[in-house]
């Protein structure tokens, strides 16, 4: 195998613990963690991974990610240096996938450019927000996306329209296709800077009151089922406050799992399996994960399924699981 350190100009770390790269603070080491200098550097390391059949995944700020305790035998790529640019042209915005969403919102507010306020308090990068179609009941990023430049493993760059991206509720094609979002073109509108600032502050205040932000977490664990709220179902099934080791269903918000210290991925998965079994039993609704498992959705379902087999009628895990 060619030494990847000879391929990349940017920072490439071996055996990099993933926990500090996620907001849940969970996850063993990635075999390689790369921060390419620019798009050419990214293209070079991606070509190397493709050539050497090394699995790879882009990461933003890890605010929606659950990483395995055993780590990841592959390459994790961050765009924080290659594409963190933010350029306004009136109400049109070109933004790199590695830019922090909070910075984009702050710059837009200062310029009196409105349209992103619904994303106030959503942690993460622009790339992560695009992949997740991040948003709230008041709006999602898809509604302002004109186009996204994506890098294919072949090294080709394509421009995908909002239609190409097939946005849905907390999903789009960036989750299913093996591509990396490089940048996005967003169309916003003119607004009043003071009014935008007030709106942002009110939204952030509300989050501080209603979300358990003092503990590491990954936001909502489950998607809201049509016409209902996952938090309401979890609470009504009596799961609020349940614990597995240091992983806890937050007493303040039942759709959050918080890490009270040294929680492991397996503890989070066990808690998710117990919750899903109990909610199904009590309400008939099957919850669908919103959180992304680093190894992909099929691997997550397989892992959850194994834990679910060990869950008794009392909602307690009796089998070994995992």
Query: Is residue 36 close enough to count as binding ligand FAD by CB under 6 A?
Result: no
- Per-residue mark of binding to ligand FAD, 90-129 (x: CB under 6 A): -------x------------------------xxxx-xxx
Strands across the sheet containing 247-249: 243-244, 247-249, 257-259
Q: Is 298 exposed, middle or buried (0-12, 13-18, 19+ CB in 10 A)?
A: exposed
SS3 55: coil
Q: Whole-number minimum distance, CB 165 to ligand FAD, in Å?
A: 11
38 closest CA partner among 3, 80, 86, 76? 80
Query: Is 248 designated active site?
Result: no
Query: Is residue 136 close enough to count as binding ligand FAD by CB under 6 A?
Result: yes
Of the listed 16, 25, 170, 203, which one is catalytic? 170
Query: Is 158 designated active site?
Result: no
Query: How many whole angstroms separate alpha carbon 84 and alpha carbon 66?
Result: 24
Count the site residues for ligand FAD by CB under 6 A.
Answer: 35
What is the sign of the dihedral through the CA atoms of 308, 309, 314 and 320? negative
Of the listed 290, 292, 303, 308, which one is catalytic? 290
Q: Whole-number minimum distance, CB 14 to ligand FAD, in Å?
A: 20
Choice between 63 and 317, CB closer to ligand FAD:
63
Q: Whole-number minimum distance, CB 89 to ligand FAD, in Å?
A: 22
Query: Is residue 259 close enough to count as binding ligand FAD by CB under 6 A?
Result: no
Give the β-pairing of 56-59 and 29-35: unpaired
Element housing 136 (H / E) = strand 135-136
Query: How many whole angstroms separate alpha carbon 192 and alpha carbon 37?
Result: 36
- Footprint of ligand FAD on this chain (CB under 6 A)? 23, 57-65, 79, 97, 122-125, 127-129, 131-132, 134-136, 170, 174-175, 180-181, 211, 213, 217-219, 292
Q: Which residues are catalytic?
A: 170, 220, 290
């Amino acid at each position: 195998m060619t030494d990847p350190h000879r391929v990349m100009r940017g920072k490439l770390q071996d055996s990099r613990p993933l926990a500090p790269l996620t907001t849940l603070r969970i996850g063993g080491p990635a075999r390689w963690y790369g921060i390419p200098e620019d798009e050419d550097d990214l293209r070079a390391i991606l070509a190397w991974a493709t050539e050497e059949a090394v699995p790879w995944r882009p990461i933003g700020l890890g605010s929606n990610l659950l990483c395995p305790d055993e780590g990841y035998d592959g390459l994790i790529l961050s765009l924080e240096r290659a594409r963190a640019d933010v350029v306004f042209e009136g109400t049109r915005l070109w933004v790199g996938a590695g830019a922090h969403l909070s910075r984009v919102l702050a710059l837009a507010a200062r310029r009196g450019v409105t349209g992103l306020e619904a994303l106030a308090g959503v942690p993460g990068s622009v790339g992560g927000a695009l992949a997740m179609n991040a948003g709230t009941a008041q709006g999602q990023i898809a509604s302002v996306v004109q186009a996204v430049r994506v890098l294919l493993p072949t090294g080709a760059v394509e421009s995908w329209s909002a239609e190409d991206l097939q946005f849905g509720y907390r999903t789009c094609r960036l989750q299913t296709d093996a591509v990396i979002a490089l940048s996005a073109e967003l169309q916003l509108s003119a607004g009043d800077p003071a009014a935008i600032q007030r709106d942002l502050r009110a939204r952030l205040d509300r989050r501080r009151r209603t979300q358990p932000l003092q503990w590491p977490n990954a936001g909502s664990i489950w998607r809201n089922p049509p016409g209902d709220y996952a938090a309401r179902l979890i609470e009504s099934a009596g799961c609020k406050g349940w614990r597995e080791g240091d992983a806890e269903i937050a007493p303040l918000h039942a759709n959050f799992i918080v890490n009270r210290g040294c929680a492991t991925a397996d503890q989070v998965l066990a808690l998710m399996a117990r919750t899903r079994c109990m909610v199904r039993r009590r309400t008939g609704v099957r919850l669908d994960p919103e959180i992304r498992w680093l190894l992909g959705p099929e691997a997550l379902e397989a892992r959850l399924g194994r834990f679910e087999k060990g869950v008794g009628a009392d909602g307690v895990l009796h089998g070994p699981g995992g």
